[in-house]
Amino acid sequence: MRLLVTVIFLLSTSTAHAAGSTQAALQQRCVAAITASGQPANIKALKQTTIPMGESGFLFQFAAADGATFSCQICDDGNSANHACGSIGLDLSYRPKDGELQRLPAELDKKCTYFLQKEIKPRSDPQFIDHAIAQRIHVTPDHSDKSWVYQMELDGNPYRCVIRKSDGNFRVESKKGDAWRPIAAGVLF
């Protein structure tokens, strides 16, 4: 009986440790996105609140002393055993103390990967992320003054994702001959 209790305890602590390391890794992705956002932030001075969201997602809120808040919604989208994530890439927003909420660009390469795999995978596939397809997509940034551009390659076929910096509109395109043809479009932020 004592052996059974010990085994159960060890299993529960190893599961808790794995969940804690996943949470820490996801939190670091959010911190990196805040740092890259262009918004002024003293990362070490931000007060963090963590809200678990479902199976392996979190909402991290980072409050500054001046009343501004960053919010980062993220899921363990790289874990192929996790089928609860609705997309790839985190969502980041910023609200100044007395201002309006602004969605910020973050992990755009991952979002482009998500939309390409979504268009390529069979329509009958009910899962949001086909990890086998997503892992085969190679992304290379090729930005301009007006757009973030990600050249993508999947199984030898060229694609690209173009995101306008002015308003967050995007399109994913496939190349047929010399022409680029849209296969997906929307607004990212």
Classify the phi-psi angles of 127: left when phi > 0, otherwise alpha if psi is within -120 to 50, otherwise beta: beta
What SS3 class is residue 38?
coil
For residue 44, the model assigns a pLDDT of 93
For residue 82, the model assigns a pLDDT of 85
What does each C-alpha distance from 143 to 3, 108, 138, 186 come to in angstroms? 59, 12, 16, 19
Beta carbons within 10 angstroms of residue 88's beta carbon = 22
Give me the tens of pLDDT residue by residue for the chain, a chain 189 residues long. 443 333 333 333 333 445 679 999 999 999 999 999 999 889 999 999 999 998 789 999 999 999 999 999 999 999 988 888 999 999 999 999 999 999 999 999 999 999 999 999 999 998 899 999 999 999 999 999 999 999 999 999 999 999 999 999 999 999 999 999 999 999 999
For residue 19, the model assigns a pLDDT of 60
Going 49 to 54 to 55 to 56, the CA torsion angle's sign is negative
For residue 27, the model assigns a pLDDT of 97
Please state the pTM of the whole predicted model: 0.85
Q: Which residues pair with 180 in a beta bridge?
A: 175
